[in-house]
Structure 1
Amino acid sequence: MTDGELAAYSLVELAVDRLRRDILSGRTDPGERLVEEQLTKRLGISRAPLREAMRLLAEQGLVEHIPRRGARVATLSDDDVRELYEVRDVLERHAVASAPERLDLTRLAEALDTIRGATGTGDRLELANAHRRFHVEVVALSGNRQLTALYETILVKIQLYMAVNMRREAETADAADGVHRHERLFEAVRRGDAREILSVLSEHGARAYLA
């Protein structure tokens, strides 16, 4: 890769990172238009790397292109969200049922610590990512890498809407509530009771984000 190609690639990475942060932190709402002229000025890049970044974000399900109208933050219908949660439930149940008896909870504990830290600093993106990582680590305890990768793609799509609702929730709810929910789930996993884990997951508050 030449220096010019490397520089262009770096600009693409920059644009992907900045736009992904905006989308997953709730700074931009689902359906909000992404205007090239405004974005090139804000990011300080040309149209070529921006368009490549938009293409990559579309592959991740975060951006969608509308014929003759340009790009916008991806949207999900009520049915889409309901179906994604149904798939999430199926994957979680399979992961819990197939997890071995002896578990290394180091990574799950680290994810919980990150949730606590992000709650303390009020970093919405870090908090949303930490929530996602925690649940991914729960599923990863099954040892099934393909299942875990599929599960994470589902959570990224759901996070489009979770981010907006987390922003609204932060204005009215106690920030510690989210920490307590994940602490309960961690303790259920630590005790190794599959029925209890599934019960806590079902009460975890995820469907509050459907509102």
Structure 2
Amino acid sequence: MTAEIPLDGLGAQSLVELALDRIRGDILRGTIGPGERLVEEQLTRRFGISRAPVREALRLLGQQGLVEHLPRRGVRVAELSADDMEELFGLRDALERYAVETALAVPLDQERLAVLERAAERMERAAVADAPLDRADAHREFHLALVALAGHRHLLRAYEPIIMQLQLYMAANMRREAEQRSPAEGAHRHRHLYEAVASGDSGTVLAALAGHGARTYLAPELDPS
């Protein structure tokens, strides 16, 4: 993991949020892989904070589906089966379709659209720089921005843990994906989807979503489709 969290001027809630962001970032970037244990004592030493905010951060990560709390065995990064992945991808597809249909039922919010474009640009920069961790972050940012277009707070709240759980295996399979296709291809797919959304035509957007390649990253038990 990364360096100690600076403590000056931080309250208990801020320490929880910082610990949460740090641990979650390590998980979603693949620094800590599925099935790896997260030991409170080690985390407190690394971050230079007490156990209470670390324990609360791990509890919140459990609610988000990124870690599992096992009786008498502690906490580990979640492991998802092939069936889990299929279900999560199916939910992602359904929620994204609903989000864009809702967003396009009225004139598009241009500020939200600009956030989506910035995420696409960040993916393109990461592809040129061959920076897989930045690319993974931008990928998640893009899909969250896509769903945020609907301006539907509860939808975004339901969607966020799904994309984060999918990111577990996107991170785990990053090297395998890189061997199969260039980073530029993924950036191009997301640029194409952004341009479809910016057109404001729901048929164009739904067609782009259907061909977006949601199952580029798969659990090892599955074959790419």
> Which TM bucket (shorter chain)?
0.7 to 0.9
Structure 1 residue 23: Cα displacement = 0.1
Aligned counterparts of 2:185 and 2:67: Cα–Cα separation in 1: 31
Instruction: Report the secondary structure of 1:207's partner residue.
Output: coil
Aligned counterparts of 2:56 and 2:150: Cα–Cα separation in 1: 36
The 3 A distance-change label for structure 1 pair 14 and 91 is closer
Aligned Cα root-mean-square deviation (Å):
2.6
Decide which moves more: 133-142 or 177-186.
Answer: 133-142
1:78 aligns with 2:86: no
Q: Which residue of structure 2 aligns with residue 141 of structure 1?
A: 149
Instruction: Report the secondary structure of 1:210's partner residue.
Output: coil
| Matched letter for residue 68 of structure 1 | R
The 3 A distance-change label for structure 1 pair 190 and 75 is same
Instruction: Report the secondary structure of 2:215's partner residue.
Output: helix
The equivalent position to 2:59 in structure 1, one of 55, 77, 86, is: 55
How many aligned residue pairs are there?
209
Q: Provide structure 1 residue ranges, at least 5 long, that are not aligned to the other structure.
A: none
Q: Residue deviations 1:121-156, cap 9 Å, x none?
A: 444443223212212222222332322332222211
Aligned counterparts of 2:141 and 2:8: Cα–Cα separation in 1: 35
Q: Residue deviations 1:27-57, cap 9 Å, x none?
A: 1111111133433333333433322222222
TM-score normalized by the length of structure 2: 0.80
Task: Write the mapping of 1:37-48 to structure 2, written as runs, cut at 5 A.
Answer: 37-48=41-52
Decide which moves more: 118-127 or 171-180.
Answer: 118-127
TM-score normalized by the length of structure 1: 0.84
The 3 A distance-change label for structure 1 pair 101 and 156 is same
| Matched letter for residue 79 of structure 1 | D
Q: Which residue of structure 1 aligns with residue 223 of structure 2?
A: none
Q: Which residue of structure 2 aligns with residue 24 of structure 1?
A: 28
Counterpart contact for 2:97–2:209, Cα < 8 Å: no
1:164 aligns with 2:172: yes
Q: Which residue of structure 2 aligns with residue 154 of structure 1?
A: 162
Q: Provide structure 2 residue ranges, at least 5 long, that are not aligned to the other structure.
A: 1-6, 220-225
| Matched letter for residue 184 of structure 2 | A
